[in-house]
Amino acid sequence: MPVNPKYSAVIFDMDGVLADSEPTYFAAMQSVLGPLGVEITEEHQRHIMGSSIEATWRYFAETFALEGSLDALVDSYDHELRHLLAQLHDTLPGVRELIPRLRGLGLPIAVASSSIPEWINALLGGLGLQDAFDTAVSTREAGRSKPAPDVYLLAARRLAVPPAGCIAIEDTPTGLASANAAGMFTIQTRSASSAFPPLPNADLVLDSLLDFPLSLLEA
């Protein structure tokens, strides 16, 4: 089936797009911060969604006036999170259907995530998707974290597709801002438990990836 040359690659965010994994991050954060008397609320979690590990823990340190070694807390969080992410096995609706359809069209696909490579590997391994993508890019490899466009620009370079020829699938305002800054067509998907209301900076809003319009890619 011929492909519309305007869009010739699809790049997925990971958390909240491939899996309902934001609650797992919340659980790992609470396991580290709870013993310090810190209680994270949904408002805190939404503030950091889509942020890098460095930005996340700077926010916690400033918000809760954390004392002592921040590196030690981050190490504890990293250990707990890797364990929990590897236990997630269910994708969000439409993910397992969409990936082979994109492959059938001959499209390159990638993951572009604010997570570090070890977390990406843990979650994709748990989901059984470790070999599903042509590349998986983390903010740590790309440079600046979302909302800067770096992670999406690096993913496009690795796929050898101009950014304007890429569709980016996101779920957070921060992620959409990153993909918009990269000059990509942006889709917000809303099937995760952490879903935001429809966001104005998305070119298209879907209830789930079961509704992904392949007509965007077909000539």
Query: Does 22-85 match 9-20+90-216 at the fold level?
Result: no
Structure confidence at residue 119 (pLDDT):
95
Chain centroid to CA 130: 15
In the chain, where the domains are located: 9-20+90-216, 22-85
118: burial class by Cβ within 10 Å (0-12, 13-18, 19+)? middle
Instruction: Determine how many CB atoms are found less than 10 A away from the CB of residue 87.
Output: 10
Q: Is the pLDDT of residue 215 over 70?
A: yes
Q: Is the pLDDT of residue 60 over 70?
A: yes
**CATH architecture entry for 9-20+90-216:** 3-Layer(aba) Sandwich (3.40)
State mean pLDDT over 39-52: 79
Q: Is the pLDDT of residue 1 over 50?
A: no
Chain centroid to CA 219: 28
pLDDT tens digits, one per residue of 84-105: 999 999 999 999 999 999 999 9
Instruction: Determine how many CB atoms are found less than 10 A away from the CB of residue 127.
Output: 22
- The class (CATH top level) of 22-85 is mainly alpha
Structure confidence at residue 46 (pLDDT):
79
Positions annotated as catalytic residues are 13
Q: Is the pLDDT of residue 56 over 50?
A: yes
Dihedral angle of Cα 178, 32, 116, 163, to the nearest 10 degrees: -10
Q: Is the pLDDT of residue 218 over 80?
A: no
Q: Is the pLDDT of residue 48 over 90?
A: no
Q: What is the pTM of this model?
A: 0.88
Structure confidence at residue 219 (pLDDT):
55
Q: Which amino acid is at 10?
A: V
DSSP string covering 132-159: SSSEEEEHHHHSSPTTSSHHHHHHHHHH
Weakest mean pLDDT among 34-38, 152-156, 160-164, 205-209: 34-38
